[in-house]
Amino acid sequence: MCGIVAYVGYRQAFPVLLKGLKRLEYRGYDSSGIAIVHKNIEIHKKKGKVAELENMVKGKILNSLIGIGHTRWATHGEPNDTNAHPHLSKSGRIAMIHNGIIENYASLKQELLSKGYVFKSETDTEVLLNFIDDILDNNNCSLEEAVCVALKRVVGAYVIVLLDEENPDTLIAARKGSPLVIGIGKGEHFLASDASPIIEYTKEVVYINDYELAIIKSDELILKNLGNEKITPFVQQLDLELSAIEKGGYDHFMLKEIYEQPKTIYDCLRGRLDIAHEDIIMGGVQSHIEQLKNANRLIIIACGTSWHAGLIAEYIIEELCRIPVEVEYASEFRYRNPIINKGDVIFAVSQSGETADTLVAIERAKEQGAMIFGIINVVGSSISRVSHAGTYTHAGPEIGVASTKAFTAQLVVLTMIALKIAKEKQSISHGRFVELLHELNTVPSKVEKILSDISSIKAIAAKTSNANSFLYLGRGYNFPVALEGALKLKEISYIHAEGYPAAEMKHGPIALVDENLPVLFVATKDAYHEKVISNMQEINARKGRLIAVVTAGDQSVISLTKDLIQVPAADEIIAPILNIIPLQLLSYYIGVSRGLDVDRPRNLAKSVTVE
């Protein structure tokens, strides 16, 4: 977790860094800080959101053309001013920011304690910094050399950026396992965890690879490996507009991203859904089609919301392709001893492409010879680079911490992949294939229809915002939708919510039902519809507060509850993409009515780059 940003050039660094931190705040907001060099290194840092730091420095003269900034999601040490980054070395010569975890920090700390080092913070970052400082102190070497020596001893993940009082025109950065991108300007350079702080200054970027070190001045970028060999930077052009990372008139990024879904889904389908030729065009799938269609088993690895997308994909792929599918939490998969056989294919699903557990799980599967197919949103991210093949979801930057548009884009891409494999494998009839292509084509306009009238959702949000707990129920394709709806509510409103298969309710959760418990059914028309209606009646009989997402015009549900949210009719395979939209909105409006910061829910961060 954590966001890092750095600048060297001709502009005043502090405002550039502050703005950059605001863009990266989705990565963590426990504390933030900036170091600049004005004769000496000056560090300003504060517990809380970036706005707190901004208030603290109001009226101060912050003159410097170089600096480093950090927004923290706490791992080692509680969120407070002392544990906030940047940290200053014992000698006072170097300031450093860090994203990642130094796993062997305890032994390094012990070494330094025995040499008389005293630590101010509880962080692993201060340990690594003073380890570098100690090497510098005891050897007649440059900071760059000291960093290389230190990093060879480090176990864990990191991006670090160092500011050196003795060379106040140079930044030194290195990465392993956490993201770092460098923006190349004219007479200036920008460093950040992702491109969002850079995009308004330059579109030319270099993505730094693991075990690479960058030595950066305003007009020079030198890349080396830890063996001191120079590497030619590979400059890429960013395909991103500034408007994509701004709120564009919405109160929150989350709301903006929910409302963007007709467009993001359209973008996801564009160029791939070929209705005229009754085909799906996906280069990454086509080039590995033999392996995919002949797979003995597909294993979907993901976390959180992406895992829920994987669960829906399991139902779809097994139905259409007749290939067995397993869906694994990356955090479990990486530590057990999973059986991977020849002919198994791994689908790694991730919005950020940086989730540490997913990344390591992929490495484990790769070691056992599996083919890795990435389904990723962030272009150039770590998972996209370690996958053998894959496809992007094209949802654009997702800033709101709760995933919304990335989820629907994942569902669209996974459905298209399933259709393509099924077509090639001939496990689907031509008629059904074409029918589903047409269904997919109508999704953007159906989502637009849902978003055009959200009065029932707002009314239900107003009625239920004081609830202590919620139950979300669904069957078949709608069961993972219930799980995702419950996750959204927990994240955004801090109301306890549980997702469950509707039929399983009688095996336990029904004991929770009373007149205070909102029970939300995802009950659109599908093969299970009559069964779900029976489950709803069971709740009514126990006086639960029934809410239901239903197909527009469905008469069978009208007598069951007044709290209905209608969505357009859709094939059951496609329906989850529509059914989740009201649940995203419901949690958003409940969160807002409880006065919560829905874009930055407590304790969370957007990409979980620590295990």
Phi, psi of 583 (to 5 degrees): -70, -35
Nearest to 214 by CA among 260, 35, 390, 205: 205
H/E/C letters for each residue in 520-561? EEECCCCCCHHHHHHHHHHHHHCCCEEEEEEECCCHHHCCCC
Residue 193 or 306: the one with the smaller Cβ distance to ligand F6R is: 306
Q: Which stretch binds ligand F6R (CB under 6 A): 15-23, 41-49, 350-358, 360-368?
A: 350-358
CB of 591 to ligand F6R, least distance (A): 12
Q: How far is the CB of 588 from ligand F6R (least distance, A)?
A: 12
Give the relative orientation of helices 13-24 and 50-57 as an angle to the nearest 10 degrees: 160
Asked if 31 and 47 touch (Cβ cutoff 8 Å), the reply is yes
- Give the nearer residue to ligand F6R in terms of CB position, either 424 or 599: 599
Whether the CB-CB separation of 300 and 328 falls below 8 Å is answered with yes
Closest to ligand F6R by CB, 170 vs 403, is 403
CB of 209 to ligand F6R, least distance (A): 20
- Residue 505 Cβ, how far from ligand F6R at the closest point, in Å? 24
d(CA 352, CA 378): 5
Residues 290-329 vs ligand F6R: string with x where CB under 6 A? -------------xxxx-----------------------
Q: Known catalytic residue: 303?
A: no
Site residues (CB under 6 A) for ligand F6R, limited to 129-168: none
Cβ atoms 314, 265 nearer than 8 A: no
Closest to ligand F6R by CB, 125 vs 305, is 305
Beta strands in 393-495 (DSSP E): 469-474
Whether residue 500 contacts residue 509, with contact meaning beta carbons closer than 8 Å, is answered with yes
What residues numbered 229-268 form the site for ligand F6R, per CB under 6 A?
none
Angle between the N-to-C axes of helices 261-269 and 443-452, in degrees from 0 to 180, rounded to the nearest 10? 180
Examine the residue annotation and report whether 606 is marked as an active-site residue of this protein. Answer: yes
Task: From 83-91, 150-158, 346-354, 474-482, give the range in contact with ligand F6R by CB under 6 A.
Answer: 346-354
If the CB atoms of residues 33 and 310 are measured against ligand F6R, the closer one turns out to be 310
Of 174, 175, 170, 176, the closest CA to residue 189 belongs to 170
User: CB 459 → ligand F6R: shortest distance, Å?
Assistant: 24
Pairwise CA distance, residues 455 & 458, whole Å: 5
Name the minimum Å distance from CB 147 to ligand F6R.
Answer: 29
Phi, psi of 352 (to 5 degrees): -75, -30
Residue of minimal Cβ distance to ligand F6R: 304
Residues of this chain, 385-444, that bind ligand F6R according to CB under 6 A: 402-403
355 is a site residue for ligand F6R (CB under 6 A) = yes
75 versus 561: smaller Cβ distance to ligand F6R: 75
Among 350, 408, 464, 561, the residue binding ligand F6R under the rule CB under 6 A is: 350
Shortest CB 464 distance to ligand F6R, Å: 20
Residues 109-128 within binding reach of ligand F6R (CB under 6 A): none
CA distance 464 to 414: 33
Is 177 in contact with 356 (CB distance < 8 Å)?
yes
Q: Which is nearer to ligand F6R, 478 or 607 (CB)?
A: 607
In the block, residue with structure tokens 């089609």: 289
Subset of residues 480 to 519 that bind ligand F6R, contact rule: CB under 6 A: 487, 491
Q: How many CA atoms lie within 13 A of 421 on its CB side?
A: 26
Least distance to ligand F6R from the beta carbon of 350, Å?
A: 3
Q: What is the dihedral of CA 434, 436, 441, 442, to 10 degrees?
A: 130
- Residues that bind ligand F6R (rule: CB under 6 A) add up to a total of 15
Please state, in angstroms and as integers, the Cα–Cα distance from residue 506 to each residue in 371, 481, 501, 528, following that order.
41, 19, 10, 16
Binding test (CB under 6 A) with ligand F6R, winner from 64, 83, 170, 358: 358
User: Residue 350 or 408: which CB sits closer to ligand F6R?
Assistant: 350
- Binding residues for ligand F6R, rule: CB under 6 A, are 303-306, 350-352, 355, 358, 402-403, 487, 491, 607-608
Which residues form the catalytic set? Answer: 2, 606
